[in-house]
Amino acid sequence: MSHDLPPLNALRAFEATARLNSVSQAAEQLHVTHGAVSRQLKVLEEHLGVSLFVKDGRGLKLTDAGIRLRDASGEAFDRLRSVCADLTQSTADAPFVLGCSGSLLARWFIPRLGRLNADLPDLRLHLSAGEGDLDPRRPGLDALLLFAEPPWPADMQVYELASERIGPVMSPLFSGYQRLQSAPPIALLNEPLLHTTSRPQAWPSWAQQSGLDAKALKLGQGFEHLYYLLEAAVAGLGVAIAPEPLVTEDLKAGRLVAPWDFSETPAQLALWLPKRAADGRARQLAQWLRNELRQADHSPRLNSR
């Protein structure tokens, strides 16, 4: 006799029949035909080499072997149903963990978090900050929000949200503010520009799009992360380069100005998640993010010529 477990469909048919004491009711519950359940019962008896039912008038009666299997299978399936229900509930109750850079989190997401919670009250969002070390393929992270250029990884579901726009910004506290606020972009070639090692191509890309010689740029104080770069700009330490969404609140408050406006890059702000982990919450979040970015794009641009 085989020591392998019988086919699962046969055990399911038996468990339902034994519990309901009816082949017809078991077939109805399992959404199959009466004949399909009968065939599965026969498969199970042949696999085990014992009779599980005997005729009892127009119905069936469990044999001693059938009673033993009914008790064991009933307990096992009850346990499986309970665990599956718990897993389903825990998945529904689990927070949606979104990774993004610290600068994006602090300067764009947090100012809008109250509005997101009000608009999507059922989305239990947990934010995880990192700089280049976040990967939605790893356990503990459901999705990633970042600026990146296509093509996209084949194993990722990517929701494109908005084209990236970057531009130079400075504070009214900057010593060169009065001199530069009405100057053409070429004036920046004489400035020691604030920059970040996390986006070394930001200034050259902007210069090229502005018709300037990128090789003529003079880089001044450097910072490891974009967040620190923008804090330095707000403090009046010089002219920095930044994605438009990350300085929106500073522009509104007058902490920064963007005299040379913003230029579109090949990059996209996008929401990434593994295709194997498709999640309806990601689609919901992506739509909210698109709407939020669209509203910002349609608002009047401040402090730019």
pLDDT at 81 over 50: yes
pLDDT at 269 over 90: yes
Contact 269, 294 (CB under 8 A): no
Segment 171-185 shows an average pLDDT of 96
d(CA 210, CA 214): 10
User: Given this model, what pLDDT does residue 298 score?
Assistant: 52
Q: What is the pLDDT of residues 205-239, one digit of tens each?
A: 999 999 999 999 999 999 998 999 999 999 999 99
Q: Of 111 and 298, which is predicted with more confidence?
A: 111
Q: What is the pLDDT of residues 6-60, one digit of tens each?
A: 888 999 999 999 988 889 888 888 889 999 999 999 999 999 999 999 888 777 8
**How does the average pLDDT of the chain come out, rounded?**
88
User: Given this model, what pLDDT does residue 279 score?
Assistant: 76
Q: How confident is the model at residue 134 (pLDDT cuts 50, 70, 90)?
A: confident
Sequence-separated (6 or more) residues with CB below 8 Å from residue 106: 129, 227
Segment 144-169 shows an average pLDDT of 93
pLDDT at 302 over 70: no
Point out which residues pair with 31 in neighbouring strands: none
Q: Which of 245, 168, 229, 165 is nearest to 197 (CA)?
A: 229
Q: What is the pLDDT of residues 272-294, one digit of tens each?
A: 998 876 678 899 999 999 999 98
pLDDT at 243 over 90: yes
pLDDT at 118 over 80: yes
Q: How confident is the model at residue 91 (pLDDT cuts 50, 70, 90)?
A: low
User: Given this model, what pLDDT does residue 280 score?
Assistant: 82
User: Given this model, what pLDDT does residue 141 score?
Assistant: 87
pLDDT at 80 over 90: no
pLDDT at 122 over 50: yes
pLDDT at 256 over 60: yes
Q: Does pTM surpass 0.75? A: no
Q: Which of 78-82, 84-88, 225-229 has the lowest mean pLDDT?
A: 84-88
Distance linking the first and last C-alpha atoms of the chain = 85
